[in-house]
Amino acid sequence: MASTKIPLTLLDPDGGWVNAPVHVSELDGLPVLLHFWTMDCADCAAQFEAVNQWIVDYGPKGLKVIGVDVTHSETELRDTNKVEGFAREHGLRYPIAMDDGSMAKAYGVDKHPAFLLFGTDGRLKNRIGGKDALRRMRAELKKLPGQEPPALHGEVSREQEDQAAASNP
């Protein structure tokens, strides 16, 4: 994947922000995870709990998560109350950019949910979308220095596999 710097325009979405705006200076030297979703996407909503947990566990270690609500209409784009209510309902406390579709297009996001992971150097490391995006992004987060996300529900960690192998020779 080609590495790209995070463009300044990312931080000035046409639709505005929910929860808090983000400035590019706040992202310097931090790994950044963009989570693209829509309010009418069941697969997207199913990911919110895991993404919120990543923020709790790895935000203190530097991981910055920014949600991107990709709107489908001019009316929805202007209705921040609707997005704020949706964010409250789903426990989303991280910054959410309200995208009119231009950010998604600029990053080549054509399905939801989607994750874009940027390294501490501000370069795009990976773009992952679709139903399996949560598991695949978790594997990518493991590669970041100091970032070892917890296992997903029902998933066995490498340590657990090693312990099981050692106890069953």
Specify the CATH number for 14-167; select among 3.20.20.210, 3.40.30.10, 3.100.10.20, 3.40.50.300: 3.40.30.10
Q: Which of 8-17, 21-30, 109-118, 142-151 is predicted most confidently?
A: 109-118
Give the mean pLDDT of the chain. Answer: 79
Q: What φ, ψ does residue 115 adopt, rounded to 5°?
A: -125, 140
pTM, entire model: 0.78
Q: State both tokens at 54.
A: 């990543």
What is the residue whose two structure tokens read 């949600």? 67
Q: Which of 98, 25, 35 is nearest to 67 (CA)?
A: 35
Q: Which residue has the higher pLDDT, 147 or 60?
A: 60
User: What is the structure's pLDDT at 12?
Assistant: 62
Specify the pLDDT at position 8: 47
What average pLDDT score do residues 136-163 get?
63
Least confident of 2-6, 63-67, 105-109, 150-154: 150-154
Query: Region 43-49: what's the mean pLDDT?
Result: 89
- pLDDT above 90: residue 115: yes
CA dihedral 14, 1, 5, 70 (to 10 degrees): 10
Lowest-pLDDT choice from 16-25, 27-36, 45-54, 90-99:
16-25
Residue ranges of the domains in the chain? 14-167
Which among 164, 143, 139 has a CA at the least distance from the CA of 151?
A: 139
Residue 52's alpha-carbon distances to 55, 132, 146, in angstroms, are 5, 17, 18
- Pairwise CA distance, residues 40 & 145, whole Å: 34
